[in-house]
Amino acid sequence: MTPRKPLDTNAILIMILLCLLWGLQQVAVKMAAHGMGPVMQLGARSVIAALLVCVLIVVRGNKFSLRDGSFWPGIGAGVLFALEFIAVALGLQHTSASHISVFLYTAPIFTVLGLHFFVPGERMGGLQWLGVIAAFAGIAVAFSNGFAQQSRDWGDILLGDVLGVLGGLFWAATTVLIRGSALSEAPPTTTLLYQLGTGGLIMLAVAAAIGQASDIVMTRAVWISLFFQAVLVAFFSFLVWFWMLRRYLASRLSVFSFLTPLFGVGFGVLLLHDPIDARFAAGAALVMLGVVMVNVRLGRKAG
């Protein structure tokens, strides 16, 4: 198994770009939800992106084999991918987007724990653990104002919050499965095709079962949302993400996910005119501190 390395400057810049795209994704789903249900949106974008991956494989002349040991891990990754986004889509119907962002992006905590116990070479030191704690505290502070101002039924909100946590757990399980199986050495296109193809079909089936496959209105917002989600998020950003997982320590990459909800709130302010206060700024500072702590290279250890 190819050894992974700590993050360098290029990796950090790429991760910031990916987090920016992922942060905008939640806003895109919300803006188009009146024309197409969230589960249907996420299923459709996944299938479209899977087709784009197939085209890329053909154009590159890459080989796709069912006998390289990646088939069952790939199917498992696709199922977990579907469960993650089904949980997110259903959760958005019961709680706010800010709550979903907070609880979904607890995934790095679950990822670090999973990698620590199941994948050799992904151990976290004391400073890195403190960084994870600081980053999670930053998320809590950044969204504390949203927790203090609720007008909806708490039982309904609790259900949505639980679904958000489940989404984070499924996301972390996907990362651990990929790193601990043959998928870690498979081409990024192979891993992505398994996830998008399997996950997309499952999500479309669920969307049909809950009535989101009918009564679709293809507004301009829906077209823009599908293009953004399918091409830029599900195809481009996920392909880059799997490429990164093959070269860098997954536990270090996952911690950057804390930046995504912060970008999400920023886009919410710009596009949806969501309010923002000083606590968000304080939370953002804590998140950045946590990211630095997790990725710092200790001179003693390097020497």
- In whole angstroms, give the CA distance from residue 41 to residue 34: 11
**Residue 8 included in any domain:** no
Residue 30 is predicted with a pLDDT of 80
pLDDT at residue 35, as a whole number: 92
Name beta bridge partners: 248: 5
**Six-digit token pair at 281?**
């700024």
Give the per-residue pLDDT at 195.
92
Residues 6 or more apart in contact with residue 240 via CB below 8 angstroms: 14, 18
Residue 100 placed within a domain: yes
- Asked if residue 291 is part of any domain, the answer here is yes
Residue 278 tokens, joined: 């000083």
- What pLDDT score does 303 carry? 33
Closest CA to 171 of 195, 155, 193, 148: 195
Residue 187 falls inside a structural domain = yes
**Confidence (pLDDT) at 300:** 33
Q: In whole angstroms, give the CA distance from residue 133 to residue 41.
A: 34
Residue located via tokens 């989101």? 212
Instruction: Please report how many Cα atoms fall inside a 13 Å half-sphere around the Cα of residue 286, on the Cβ side.
Output: 19
Number of domains comprising the chain: 1
Angle at 256 between CA 94 and CA 124, to 5 degrees: 110
Six-digit token string for 270: 């710009």
Domain assignment present for 102: yes
pLDDT score, position 99: 72
Is 2 domain-assigned?
Answer: no
* Residue 3 is assigned to a structural domain of this protein: no
Query: Could you list the pLDDT tens digit for every one of the 303 residues in the chain?
Result: 556 777 788 888 998 999 899 888 878 888 898 899 999 999 999 999 999 999 998 888 777 666 777 788 889 999 999 999 999 988 878 777 777 777 787 777 777 777 767 766 667 677 778 877 887 887 777 666 555 555 556 667 778 878 888 998 898 899 888 877 888 777 888 888 999 999 999 999 999 999 998 889 999 999 999 999 999 999 999 888 878 877 887 667 766 766 787 787 788 778 867 656 677 678 777 877 776 676 554 333 333
Asked if residue 9 is part of any domain, the answer here is no
Instruction: State residue 301's pLDDT score.
Output: 38
The answer to whether the CB of 39 falls within 8 A of the CB of 203 is yes
What is the residue range of 201's domain? 15-297
